Amino acid sequence: MAENIPGVGAGAVIPLLKEALVIARRGWEFESTLERSRETLNSLTREVEKIKRLSPQLDRSREELETLENHLRAFKELVDKYSKFSRWRCPFFPCYQYRLEKKEKDINRHTTSQNSHRLLDIVSKICDIRIILQNLYMKENINICGAIGEQECVGMDEYFNKLKLNLLLDDAPVHVFTGLVGSGKTTLAKKIYFDPEIKAEFKGNIFFARVSKEANWKVIIETLFGYCGSGAPAAFQSNEDAATHLEGVLRGFKNPILLILDDVWPSSEALVQKFKILIPDYKYKVLVTSRVALPGIGPSSRLDQLDHHHALALFSHYARPYDRDNSYTPPPEVVNQIVRSCLGSPKALKATGISLCGMGFETWKTTKESLETRSILDFPKNELLNDLKESLDMLERENKFPSINQKECFMDLGLFPADKRIPVVTLIDMWAELYDLNNDGSNAVATVLDLTYKNFINLNVTRKIAKVEDMYYYNHFITLPNLLRELAIHQSKDDKPFNQRKRLFVDLKGNNRPKWSVSQNQPKVDARILSISTDEEFTSKWCDMQPDEAEVLILNMHSSQYTLPEFTERMSKLKVLIVTNYASHCSELKNFDLLGSLSNLKRIRLEKVSVPSLCIWKNLRKFSLHMCNAKQAFENCSNQISDAMPNLVEMSIDYCNDLVKLPDGLCNIAPLKKLSITNCHRFSALPQDIAKLKNLEVLRLCSCSDLEEMPYSVDGLNKLSCLDISYCLKLSKLPDDIGGLKKLEKLYMKGCTKLSELPNSLSKIDHKIYVIYDDEMADSWRNLADFPNLKKEILNVDPDLKWLPAVPS
């Protein structure tokens, strides 16, 4: 047949036939090649994704990755395109197959598949090892105390159960457990980690990370990435960058997670905020333990010092010897004394219990006697003291108010008797003069709030009678845990002799005297603050020391009669005098006239004493009486009150039940800005000339139940901004010209059941006045709607009685 074809010989036909057969065979193999190409495409896609994820470790450039991805994208386009072709295109299959094979070779050339697979396996194993090491880091922190967490929680079951219920039932993503260092927060957190019910709830996915001051958040978050089956996307640039990627990995992980962040410091608060992740239908929770409260992060519960019952249980657990038959058993009174000396601190109870476990009579006796004369913080090699000092240093590092030395303010609190409430207004008086803080108390109260936030003190508000903007703090009290009081005293010593300290606290039991007080040469004392406490057995007078530098004198007593120390007369630099009687009845003060020589005295606060008379205090700015007998001082004084205190700016009289009226001369004290007569149930009348107080800004007459009428005219009180007549039960009428008070902003009238109408003159005021009342008064005023310029506001009183001592059963 070849001969019949013009120009074609038999030698030329055979190669053509062979080539045609090759092309036909390639066409027949196209479908299998296309299927192999699909498999190759899927495999290469996975390899490229792995290369991208591990690119920082493989050190690949961005240009190389882009070239590789472009080849892969072109290959995918060919596979997708050719997969749609039908058999009628079979003549072109050889061409399509050639293109597929060429593109696959191009990709293989860039991936260098054999070496790449091996390298990827090596790098992948390295990453797995890194994750294992990170998990070991986490587990190392978990197992500090091993599996004995259950035993260590003796005496703290109530706190544990509350914490556990919060984690199981509360919907909040973050829970904060706060308390002083050494209070047992970490112990409880570890018990949560080991608790079977918690493990079942979170299917064993519980992570424990010790954070502390130097938090390595990147390690914590990278470990979570590894556990959730998603490696970290790249080397995180910062802690914030790591936290930002956390939500993405959690959304891809379906199992529940509990993350325990132990000992978080205030400097990490912003980062912990990033762990607040709400994912619908997904159980993810974070438990944070911290030395300070973190109110912006989530609901919190606080671990306080242990009461004696629970402290005894914890101490006994560690002090109990294994061989009880052959061991000394101390009597209960010895054990109770040692436990009380540990001041409710789990850390101190544990350390002391371990040191006494299995010891003999002599060791127990010596320990008891040492703790009777020394603080638990005074013992050498004291780990608890070191931890407390670290927290105390935090007051300087984390201080929100650079102008206020919070550490100094805290140490001042050790000057007050143990287990007694400290009025916030007392601290305001002290700190205003010592540290030049605001007279209105705002700086001092901000410091109190911050110390509360950092768990150094407890703040109680016994009754809410005013808006916070009024800055009325006479119902605010703080309590200081005994351990922290010991810390304040310990730090105030500053390794100096007693007479060279900035603060000197003298606690007298009966008529026992310190050795230095009975020597012939009385020491000169350098203290700026001098605090003297006496008990009910104190009878004799105090020694004649020389506190010439003292600016604050605090006298605490428990007696029906008290004589001011003779040296008071020579305290020429004294600015603040605070006298508090803790006995059940008022104490009679003797030598009160010695105060008349103190020309620099600016603030006096007397509590539960009988004030015999008023001295001449030319520079006195504030005079406060609380639960005092004041009638004699005001009515039988030889000096006019305006002559005795001509520069008085603030007077506060609270719970003085014998007070019936104020002397008329009070209205001649021109500088007076604040006058507060509260809870004086026999007080019946204000001076009629009160309008002469041109600078008066606040007049508070709250709970004066016998007050029947106000002065006929108040025209002249041009600066009065706040008038409080709440719970003046017999008051039936306000002055007719009250509408002339152009500066009046707040009118408190809670519980004024006899006051049914307001004066028409109030309609003439052209500015807004807040009328504050309670639910009971809301419907009792007939004409309240006639005054559109009055802004009504309900403020219900919610008394807090938690500060009251427990009634014995």
Name residue, tokens 């060919």: 78
Give the whole-angstrom CA distance, residue 83 versus residue 176: 59
Given a cut of 80, is residue 375 above it in pLDDT?
yes
H-type alpha helices, 288-423: 308-319, 332-341, 346-356, 361-373, 383-397, 406-412
Same-domain pairing of 230 and 363? no
**CA nearest 704: which of 686, 692, 721?**
686
Q: What pLDDT is attached to residue 230? A: 59
Torsion angle defined by CA atoms of residues 193, 194, 196 and 197, in that order, rounded to the nearest 10 degrees: -30
Which residue has better confidence, 291 or 804? Answer: 291
Which residue has better confidence, 203 or 249? Answer: 203
Same-domain pairing of 248 and 160? yes
**CA nearest 284: which of 259, 249, 262?**
259
Domain boundary among 303, 338, 357: 303
Name residue, tokens 């936290």: 243
- How long a stretch of residues is the chain? 809
Domain boundary among 303, 338, 366: 303
Q: What pLDDT is attached to residue 442? A: 87
Given a cut of 80, is residue 101 above it in pLDDT?
no
Q: Helix, strand, coil % (nearest 5) of the chain?
A: 45, 15, 40
Give the whole-angstrom CA distance, residue 480 versus residue 491: 15
Is residue 154 a part of any domain in this protein? yes
Q: How would you label 336-351 residue by residue, b for 16+ Cβ within 10 Å and e otherwise?
A: bbbbebbbbbbbbbbb
- At 5, the pLDDT band (50, 70, 90 cuts) reads very low
Same-domain pairing of 161 and 265? yes
Is residue 236 a part of any domain in this protein? yes
Find the CATH number of the domain harbouring 346.
1.10.8
Q: What pLDDT is attached to residue 17? A: 47
Same-domain pairing of 151 and 292? yes
**CA nearest 110: which of 75, 70, 74, 68?**
68
Given a cut of 80, is residue 215 above it in pLDDT?
no
Q: At 383, give phi and psi (nearest 5°).
A: -65, -35
Same-domain pairing of 147 and 243? yes
Strands 476-479 and 458-461, bridge-based pairing: antiparallel
Find the CATH number of the domain harbouring 445.
1.10.10
Domain boundary among 78, 111, 144: 111
Same-domain pairing of 335 and 411? no
Same-domain pairing of 325 and 263? no
Percent over 70 (pLDDT), the chain? 77
Show the tokens assigned to 506. 């003298």
Given a cut of 70, is residue 97 above it in pLDDT?
no
Q: How confident is the model over 479-502, as a mean pLDDT? A: 88
Q: What pLDDT is attached to residue 798? A: 54
Same-domain pairing of 175 and 270? yes
Show the tokens assigned to 448. 């109190």
DSSP state of 635: H
Is residue 608 a part of any domain in this protein? no
Which residue has better confidence, 145 or 759? Answer: 759
Check: CB of residue 678 under 8 Å from CB of residue 654: yes
- At 57, the pLDDT band (50, 70, 90 cuts) reads very low
Q: How confident is the model over 765-781, as a mean pLDDT? A: 74
Is residue 661 a part of any domain in this protein? no
* 342-370 tens-digit pLDDT: 998 888 998 899 889 888 899 999 999 99
Give the whole-angstrom CA distance, residue 605 versus residue 625: 6
Same-domain pairing of 298 and 237? yes
Is residue 637 a part of any domain in this protein? no
Q: What pLDDT is attached to residue 392? A: 87
Q: Compute the half-sphere exposure of residue 613: CA atoms within 13 Å on the CB side of its CA.
A: 15
Same-domain pairing of 285 and 183? yes
Is residue 598 a part of any domain in this protein? no
pTM for this prediction = 0.76
Same-domain pairing of 353 and 430? no
Give the whole-angstrom CA distance, residue 655 versus residue 675: 14
Q: What domain count does the chain have?
A: 4
Q: What pLDDT is attached to residue 380? A: 77
- At 2, the pLDDT band (50, 70, 90 cuts) reads very low
Is residue 570 a part of any domain in this protein? no
- Point out the least confidently predicted range of 98-102, 291-295, 583-587: 98-102
Same-domain pairing of 352 and 448? no
Q: How confident is the model over 696-705, as a mean pLDDT? A: 95
- Mean pLDDT in the chain? 80
DSSP state of 417: P
H-type alpha helices, 494-599: none
Is residue 181 a part of any domain in this protein? yes
- At 55, the pLDDT band (50, 70, 90 cuts) reads low
- Range of the structural domain that residue 405 is part of: 399-484
